[in-house]
Structure 1
Amino acid sequence: MSISAKDVKELREQTGAGMMDCKKALQEADGDFDKAIEVLRKKGQKLSEKRADRKANQGLILTRLSDDKSKAAALEINCETDFVARNEDFRNRAKQFLDLVFEKEINSVDNLLETQLEGLTVADHLKDMIGKIGEKIKFNRVLSVHSDGQYISYIHPGNQLGVLVEFDGEITDEEIAKDVAMQIAAMNPIAVTREGVDSSVVEQELEIAKEQLLNEGKSEEIAEKAAKGKLRRFYEERVLLNQKFVKDNSMSVEAYLKENEMPLVKSFHRLQLGEES
């Protein structure tokens, strides 16, 4: 069957697939547009299966806040190359998926993939994208959260690192709140407070410190006491409110917030591209 250039162009505009792919799909479907779209979708499925074992360690991290800052969402979408991650169409699709996470309050990748968007599941949309782009595309993390306080968001340039910070009350100064979010991005704390550090981590740090001191010839009693001193330094390095504030090392993050009459941090989420979820 002869396929006109006009039909190929129209199918390309509808699907975003390549010209030759559109022409072949129309030929296979005997000119039927609906069937041709299905052919392209199946092609995307086959390509998805072929690329399942490929590494997708590029992509974007996006966040969104409600107007009153009581609700927040975050999304990590991965692809194979930075070239695709910087593509405007890819970014627009990622924003659509983030909006869906925000509006539907989705909290898992599986739930997002099953959710309908414009008459198709998100999983089908991904297959279509894979078919058009020719790269493996997947979601690594999906997050939807609420607070009685307020959130601030920080996205590091390049969209490879994002932070959501929950404050225990109204944010009275957004610049200060943003400074704290940037502190989390830069210093990568493991908890907000000492109490939030997993007990197994504390025990391991004490054991390592004590073992080092015993190897240096210290007595058991001295090693026990000195290990606790090293643990305090560990808290100063890895616990957010105990960390020295990066813009003023003379005070801790907690002291900085209190000095500026800001609510303390209640929780945070730090998403770095490619990290295990």
Structure 2
Amino acid sequence: MKINAQMVKDLRDKTAAGMMDCKKALNETDGDMEKAVDLLRQKGLAVAAKRAGRATSEGTIETYIHAGGKIAAMVELSCESDFVAKTDAFVEFARDLALHVAAVNPVAITREEIPEDVLAREKDIYVQQALDSGKPENIVEKMVGGKMEKFIKEICLLDQQFVKDPDFTIQELITDLIGKMGESISIKRIARFQVGA
């Protein structure tokens, strides 16, 4: 199939990938727009994996204050260079993260940072609920495992579905941004404040 400039522009608008990357993806997928989007996302994952270990000593701190000043959030988003830290896409993503933290109130950034006592308390509740419902021991374990996974996805920032677009998790959005920016990007710290809490 002949790839024209309009197709490249449409793919670029959808993915924000570079023009040559879009053209190459369309050529590799014989002009199939959806397959080209998937291919670009896969390449973004590969770039993110290569860049994961690199130091992120630049970045920005963004805040979000909800109307009325009762809830606020602050996020430190880091990257490798000052150049990327000042791009509109990077700053906008940091602002969106702050809004997300204010709205969803994650307990931790990563699964490893979730306090053990929070997990243990929740697990005890699920085990007791399952036992009270009369389920056999082997079923209880599977039920609790599934409920714990769901609970972790609700409280871990990277696993949460993005409040502005639930089709993507925060981790997927970061991976996509890494692919676009070509640098390692990480969330260093988050804080959420609520009047009276």
TM-score after normalising by structure 2: 0.71
Whole-angstrom CA distance in 2 between matches of 1:70 and 1:13: 37
Whole-angstrom CA distance in 2 between matches of 1:33 and 1:122: 24
Give the match's secondary structure for 2:59. strand
Whole-angstrom CA distance in 2 between matches of 1:42 and 1:62: 29
Contact 2:61 2:94 in 1 (8 A): no
> 2:96 maps to what in 1?
96
Whole-angstrom CA distance in 1 between matches of 2:105 and 2:4: 45
Counterpart among 130, 134, 157 of residue 112 in structure 1: 157
Whole-angstrom CA distance in 2 between matches of 1:30 and 1:107: 45
Whole-angstrom CA distance in 2 between matches of 1:147 and 1:99: 16
Whole-angstrom CA distance in 1 between matches of 2:51 and 2:190: 22
Whole-angstrom CA distance in 1 between matches of 2:79 and 2:107: 21
Whole-angstrom CA distance in 2 between matches of 1:4 and 1:100: 38
Contact 1:106 1:143 in 2 (8 A): no
Whole-angstrom CA distance in 2 between matches of 1:61 and 1:101: 13
> 1:16 maps to what in 2?
16
Structure 1 residue 22 displacement after superposition: 0.5
> 2:152 maps to what in 1?
none
Whole-angstrom CA distance in 2 between matches of 1:103 and 1:143: 12
> 1:125 maps to what in 2?
173
Structure 1 residue 75 displacement after superposition: 0.6
> 2:32 maps to what in 1?
32
Structure 1 residue 146 displacement after superposition: 2.2
Superposition pairs for residues 103-252 of structure 1, below 5 Å?
Answer: 103-110=103-110, 111-117=156-162, 118=165, 119-148=167-196
Change (3 A) 1:22 1:131: same
> 2:83 maps to what in 1?
83
Whole-angstrom CA distance in 2 between matches of 1:116 and 1:66: 20
Structure 1 residue 11 displacement after superposition: 0.6
Counterpart of 1:113, as a letter, is: L
Structure 1 residue 96 displacement after superposition: 1.2
Contact 1:107 1:142 in 2 (8 A): no
Structure 1 residue 89 displacement after superposition: 1.7
Whole-angstrom CA distance in 2 between matches of 1:15 and 1:78: 22
Give the match's secondary structure for 1:109. coil
Counterpart of 1:115, as a letter, is: Q
The Cα RMSD (Å) is: 1.5
Q: Deviation string for 1:85-127 (max 9, x for gaps)? A: 1111211121111111111122321322112122111111111
> 2:74 maps to what in 1?
74
Give the match's secondary structure for 2:187. strand
Which is bigger in relative contact order (C-alpha 8 A, separation at least 6)? 2
Q: Deviation string for 1:134-188 (max 9, x for gaps)? A: 0111111122232328xxxxxxxxxxxxxxxxxxxxxxxxxxxxxxxxxxxxxxx
Give the match's secondary structure for 2:191. strand
Whole-angstrom CA distance in 2 between matches of 1:130 and 1:50: 10
Q: Deviation string for 1:160-219 (max 9, x for gaps)? A: xxxxxxxxxxxxxxxxxxxxxxxxxxxxxxxxxxxxxxxxxxxxxxxxxxxxxxxxxxxx
Aligned length: 149
Contact 1:79 1:138 in 2 (8 A): yes
Contact 2:79 2:185 in 1 (8 A): yes
> 2:45 maps to what in 1?
45
